[in-house]
Copies of this chain bind each other. A is one copy, B any other.
Amino acid sequence: MAVMPDIPVPKTPSIAAARREFIDLWGQMANHWGINRTMAQIHALLMVTAEPLTAEQLMEELQISRGNVSMNLRDLINWGIVRRTSTPGDRRDFFTTEADVWAMFQVIMRERKKRELDPLLTRLEECLRLAGKKPESSDSPAERAAHESYVKRVAELRDFFNTFDRLFLRVLDSQPGSLSRAVKIIDKFL
């Protein structure tokens, strides 16, 4: 079967430069956030392209190997922010990302909560459990002070992240636009 025409990647200088700038920006931000640069660039390219893209197009535009594209797409799909689609009559897979920024943000938040916040809370409890109850009166005063300050600070952190967790949950099942409504409400009441 004949290969489809495809390649909707723009050639106009201005838009091409703008796209490169955005891809570069998103890649750099990813670094700050502990995410692999190439993975973020693939995501960026999918975000600014209306049509689904093939692995081939991603390789071409980002100048990276097929294997790299394949593995990073797998991770993006596992994160839930990229979808694989296919067209009848075309053997290639096509990839897209969630168009709606709010929906994308929710997916990312939900995943990070699951991977980071939930384990953090579990392990903070473990930290407190390990410290044991009250220090024995047989312990030296220095020991007892150390115990007390440890428990005090770890418990404060736990309370803090618990509050954070509740905030996450509220934001996660709220409507698009809630973030800006939240800002307005907070403006008014804090």
Chain A residues within 8 Å of B, Cβ to Cβ = 8-12, 14-15, 17-19, 21-22, 25, 29, 31-35, 47-50, 99, 101-102, 105, 115-116, 120, 123-124, 126-128, 130-132, 135, 139, 142-143, 145-147, 149-150, 153-154, 156-157, 159-160, 163-164, 166-167, 170-171, 174-175, 178-183, 185-187, 189-190
| Bound complex: CA A187 to CA B120 (Å) | 24
A17 pairs with B130, CB closer than 8 A? yes
Known: A12-B147, A170-B183. 7 other contacts (CB 8 A): A8-B146, A15-B131, A17-B130, A21-B123, A33-B34, A101-B159, A185-B185
B14 pairs with A132, CB closer than 8 A? yes
Q: Which residue of B lies closest to A20 (CB)?
A: B130
